[in-house]
A and B are shown apart, each in its own frame.
Chain A
Amino acid sequence: MRNTLIQALSHRLFWPLALLVILLTVNVIAVPGFLAITINNEGHLFGSVIDILRNGAPTLIIAVGMTLVIATRGIDLSVGSVCAIAGAVACSIILGSPNPGDPGVVTVAVLTALALSLVVGLWNGFLVSVLGIQPIIATLILMTAGRGIAMLITEGQILTVDSAPFKFLGSGFLAGVPVATVVAAAILGLVALLTRRTALGLLIESVGINPEASRQAGVRARGLLFTVYAVCAVLAGIAGLILTSNQTAADANNTGLFIELDAILAVVIGGTALSGGRYSLTGTLVGALVIQTLVTTVYTVGIPPIATMVFKAAVVTAVCLLQSPTTSAALARRRTAGPASPRPVATPEPAVTR
């Protein structure tokens, strides 16, 4: 029993962690000072690792919400569009005000953007839990429509903002650490507390593993689904604000483009199955770090940018293969070697004998 426990533990995070270490090693070989962190004259931390932590923050923030959604057997494809909507709303409010540098204006802009994200999340929750539409279809609606909405808000323009308080969100530093990183860490911690210190996590997993048994045990799936889609959308809104702030511009067409795929990948690499059930936020953290490190590796190793996507795909395929039950069963069979194989399908006799 103890043995299987150890096995299970190693299974869950072993390969993603190993991959992260391998990627970092590759980087260190390519750039010997890769892991070095320096403090510049403004007291800010600098270095490739810090870049990974900062640039990976939006993906991580979204992946945290995505983890909860996936745990309920769902998926949220609309997060990238929600990023764009949140950015567009915030920028248009800031630009519309006579005093873009006023922290009060920026606060209103951020809160409005997040409120709209919440509404979008509740819409997704409504489609999935009340109307019973399959999550992939339900969220596909906003994935496509969302960028249109963002476009309407920006009136088809790329809104460039010059607002110090807003810029702080994406590229500022708090006690030397990038603000985006601090926000991502806080969100990860908060969501972990919210789901594990209350019964939310248990009920989400229960519904994800066995919806009918959960229903008979009195679990209300509807409220849970509303909650996870709402949380996911608000987190996507936050990520969208960070991305927009970093670019100092809201671009309805490109903010958060394909980020849903990175987030889903982070969740899957982290060991949470797409079929729902038990989830691991720690795994999602590792997954998000793997993805961001991968992007960095492409640059440090000097893989031509045109091949980036292919390289990424290859690594992801490797992780998925290593984590798949079929592979681990095959490996286990190898280890025990021999008689543990399943009983033969055919008996020795020929198919038909006279």
Chain B
Amino acid sequence: MTDTASTRAPAPQGNPDPVVEMTDISISFPGVKALDSVDFRMFPGEVHSLMGENGAGKSTLIKALTGVYSIDSGVVRLGGLQVTFSGPAQAQAAGISTVYQEVNLLGNLTVAENVMLGREPRRRGGIDWKAMRQRAAEILEGLHLDIDPASLLNSHSLAIQQLVAIARAIDIQAKILILDEPTSSLDVEEVAELFRVIRSLKESGVAILFVSHFLDQVYEISDRLTVLRNGQLVGEYMTDELLRIDLVQAMIGKELSALDDLGSRVHSAEGETATGSVPETFVAAKAITRKGAISPVDITIGAGEVVGLAGLLGSGRTEVARLIGGVDRPDGGQLKVDGRPLRLRTPRQAIKHRIAYSSENRRAEGIVDELTVRDNIVLALQADRGWFRPIPRKRQDELAASYIEALNIKTPSADALVRNLSGGNQQKVLLARWLAIAPRLLILDEPTRGIDVGAKAEIQKLVYSLAENGMSVLFISAELEEVLRLSNRIVVLRDRKKVADLVNDGIGVDQLLALIAEGAAEPELEAGVAS
């Protein structure tokens, strides 16, 4: 596979016209090209999976198709006719229905009311309740859903609610049904139920766009795949002709990077530590788990060790990090720090033990955007000291100045609002906040996502030098080169389970890709690798 020429799979048998065809679509947001001349098409009676990591452009493409975003350039054709939607209502009227990840229905209304919401049959100025229940019952029957239309939506499981959302969507006479992460909160049987419905819709000729980060499910249900990466089209493939490892590689890609010089340096240094004695264990997590987030997992992190967490989005990598960082509370398992058992209930307690978690969600959970660079840098340190022991202003200025210089933060002054900085510089401010508390374990969740190559290289160098000075780092990144370049050890997660735990002694990207895609699928094998 090449990065330049994207592939295109053949049309289905009988050469039907695509029900939707998006050509050369570009959408820009300030500072980012979210979609860069992407082509996308869907055929009737096919399930089409849209694949890609965070920031690949999946949701932007969906929003372009459903009229939420307007398109900068490119053409959308629906059944051969060119269309321009100026809002989601128009897209819906044209037969494009969307069921979002979070079920956006009204739990305290009945199933029938939810299915017919906004399109209630009317009679003499009022709602014709009888006709409404009848119509809803027909639709539900069409989906082989045996539930009482007059029952409250809340009395049903999430899976049923999801199906009701679909029932609502198809009643709008959908030609195209978009399912955005419909299975993320469903269990195995519920997924089977959903897939049964998807198959029956498919048979009736609906084109279904399926987005999920569970590869097993994607391979089970979809006929065709389109892969996006960094806002660009990688290619369109028939599902049964694409090996999983090739899919993962297409999604993650290989960065032809300006970071090669750094890579060699780090690897040589890693050679030294690898040959030396095993580092003393700093944090050991045993069978830590959280329902719906991560199956029991063991992870140890040595002093001065960089442990990489590799896996696709939704593999549980962030969930593990949040448990160790005290951000979420585990349902089970044990955490030991310096050999002593510890229960971390809040990030504050983790910080007291010098464990810092730097969130992947920089804007929502990291920076405090209306505060200045200085305030953001001293925040965690100040919170740790308590409000009645303020850090003297002079010390604050010194801290801010030294981190602005050390991390090369580009800001007009320490008094600038963090909101006005670029993503990479915001990330560095966040890093500075954690470094200011002198952590013993720094958990970095996607610290390089969405920032430019220069800032990326600087952050990588920083991680490397921190570890050299004895700090432990748990490093998460969707970019495998980065993980390989920085980590002494790599833990691979897949479908919320640990599938491998290996010393990074010259593992190749391909080998890592294979683990991420296929894993050590057999339970006994998994145990073998993990020990």
Contact = CB atoms under 8 A, between A and B. Distances in A.
Partners in one complex: yes
Interface in A193-229: 197-200, 202-203, 205-206, 209-210, 212-220, 224
B416 A219 contact: no
Contact of A209 (B72, B84, B371, B384): B371
A156 B475 CA distance: 67
Interface stretch (B268-276, B359-367, B486-494, B523-531): B359-367
Contacts of B352: 218
Contact of A345 (B86, B327, B348): B86
Nearest to A202: B375
Interface stretch (B13-21, B235-243, B385-393): B385-393
Given A343-B72, A352-B81, A217 B380 contact: yes
A203 B387 contact: yes
Interface string B366-402: 1111110001001110111111111100000000000
Contacts of A220: 348, 383
B383 A218 contact: yes
Q: Main secondary structure on chain A at its contact with chain B?
A: loop
A216 B318 CA distance: 14
A29 B433 CA distance: 55
B347 interface: yes
B370 A277 contact: yes
Contacts of A354: 81
A213 B387 contact: no
A218 B347 contact: yes
Contacts of B81: 352-354
Contacts of A199: 382, 385-391
Interface in A322-354: 343-347, 349-354
A246 B413 CA distance: 50
Nearest to A212: B365
A353 B390 CA distance: 66
B70 A213 contact: no
A217 B370 contact: no
Contacts of A197: 390
A277 B375 CA distance: 13
A306 interface: no
A6 B412 CA distance: 15
B90 A351 contact: yes
Nearest to A346: B86
A225 to B, nearest CB: 13
Nearest to B90: A351
A278 B417 CA distance: 12
A346 B416 CA distance: 36
Contact of A200 (B83, B357, B387): B387
Given A213-B365, A218-B347, A218-B348, A343 B70 contact: yes
B369 A198 contact: no
Which among A199, A200, A277, A353 has the highest number of chain B CB atoms within 10 Å? A199
B318 to A, nearest CB: 13
A220 B90 CA distance: 46
A139 to B, nearest CB: 23
A150 B384 CA distance: 41
Given A1-B412, A343-B72, A203 B382 contact: yes
A212 B364 contact: yes
Q: Which of B84, B325, B387, B391 lies at the interface centre, i.e. has the most chain A CB atoms within 10 A of its CB?
A: B387
Interface string A1-18: 100000000000000000
Contact of A215 (B82, B346, B371, B412): B346
A209 B82 contact: no
A209 B371 CA distance: 8
Contacts of A217: 347, 351, 368, 379-380, 383, 433
Nearest to B322: A216
Nearest to A195: B387
Contacts, number: 111
B120 to A, nearest CB: 27
A216 B368 contact: no
Nearest to B346: A215
A278 B416 CA distance: 14
Contact of A216 (B72, B83, B359, B371): B359
A180 B495 CA distance: 66
Given A217-B433, A343-B72, A346-B86, A198 B368 contact: no
Contacts of A202: 371, 375, 378-379, 382, 387
Nearest to B382: A199
Nearest to B364: A212
Contacts of B70: 343-347
A206 B375 contact: yes
Contacts of B82: 349, 352-353
B383 A213 contact: no
B347 A209 contact: no
A203 B391 CA distance: 13
Contacts of A352: 81-83
A322 to B, nearest CB: 21
Contacts of A278: 370-371
A98 to B, nearest CB: 43
B384 A218 contact: yes
B388 A198 contact: yes
Interface in A261-303: 277-278
A213 B364 contact: yes
A210 B368 contact: yes
A209 B527 CA distance: 45
Nearest to B393: A197
Contacts of B387: 198-200, 202-203, 224
B84 A349 contact: yes
Q: Interface centre among B90, B365, B368, by most A CB within 10 Å? A: B368
Contact of B84 (A205, A213, A216, A347): A347
A213 B382 contact: no
Given A217-B379, A217-B380, A353-B82, A210 B369 contact: yes
Given A200-B388, A217-B368, A344-B70, 6 more contacts: A197-B390, A205-B368, A209-B368, A218-B347, A351-B86, A353-B82
24 contacts: A199-B391, A202-B387, A203-B382, A205-B368, A209-B369, A210-B368, A213-B364, A213-B365, A214-B383, A215-B346, A215-B348, A216-B347, A216-B365, A216-B366, A217-B368, A217-B379, A218-B351, A278-B370, A343-B70, A345-B70, A346-B84, A347-B70, A350-B84, A351-B83
Q: Which 5 pairs from chain A and chain B are nearest by CB?
A: A218-B348, A218-B383, A218-B351, A219-B383, A217-B380
